[in-house]
Amino acid sequence: MVMDVRLARIDDRLIHGQVATVWAKSTNVNRILVVSDAVARDNLRKSLLVQAAPPGVKVNVITVAKMIDIFPDRRFDSFKAMLLFTNPEDVMEVVKGGVKLFSINIGGMSFSAGKKMITNAVAVDERDIAAFHYLSSLGIILEIRKVVADSRVNLMELLKKEHLV
């Protein structure tokens, strides 16, 4: 047995209304692990995320290295986990570190300088595309879906359509 990862999601908003209610219920998780070195160093943001947990779900904010350390540890086998990331580079690092993921849900990646909008909620740059390409090469399914009810959009097909891969 290893940790039961029910959903791995990239959403730079992390825990917000949709994640806290709909995704947590639909995946029946008992633990949300926010995996981000930057957020783990930000005590205010960390405490706000812990307070935003939906009822019956515990939230931990951990570094990328900590995620890699705890994933194979049998003490965490009881976790029915949702992993939340702010970017695909951190996902790539945990996968390289031995964390087994079969699919990644991309919910929101904000626009900033140097990024290109590919949907109304997802903007990517060269580093993001390289990380997604790596994850896809391992057979990991990459789907864009803001909310559970949305239809799935294959990220790699969209990147091809946009001439970004």
Residues carrying an active site annotation: 16
Torsion 105-150-25-19 (CA) sign: positive
| 3-state secondary structure (DSSP) of residue 110 | coil
Q: How many CB atoms lie within 10 A of CB 29?
A: 23
The whole-angstrom separation of Cα 80 and Cα 72 is 14
| Paired residues of 104 in beta bridges | 142
| 142, β-bridge pairs | 104
